Amino acid sequence: MTWPAAAVAVTVVAALAGWFCWLRGRHLVVTVRGPSMAPTYRNGDRLLVRRRPGARVRSGQVAVVDLPETVRPLPGWVTPEDRLRNSRVIKRVAAVPGDPVPFPIDGSGPLVPPGSLVLLGDNPDGSGDSRQYGYVPVDAVVGVVLRSITGRG
């Protein structure tokens, strides 16, 4: 291989590596665990998520959220392993700051307060969400779901 050809090959490899790192920094893949988002997403579905600050999330989008310890709907006796497993959730954003509160939340006014979100699962009978644990901080949003990447035959 000649010197110019080697330089081109190294440049292409470096560009691809840089592009991959950039892409990985802006996106992630998550796996649905549980029935809370059925029928939209099912247990085991893999989802492509774009990292996005919570302040840019809109009502109706499906968000991936790292629940703060204070709002995780888990009893105190669960193991640390289970607590960690339930820290990241996939839920639909039902209301953003300034939107009407869609259902009574203890101590809430008629509008979602600044810095808060209301999250709901698409399967109301199989979802732990804002109906149980109230508002979730906007800063807890990891990103929004772009699409499922699970192939279904």
Instruction: Report, as residue numbers or ranges, the catalytic residues.
Output: 36, 91
Who's near 96: CB < 8 A, 6+ residues apart? 57, 58, 59, 112, 117, 138
In the structure encoding, which two tokens stand for residue 99, read together? Answer: 């939107």
Q: In what order do the strands lie in the sheet with 136-137?
A: 27-31, 46-51, 141-148, 62-66, 88-95, 116-120, 136-137
Residues composing the chain: 153
Task: Give phi and psi for 69, each to the nearest 5.
Answer: -50, -35
Nearest Cα to 44, choosing from 53, 32, 57?
Answer: 32
* C-alpha of 76 from chain center: 24
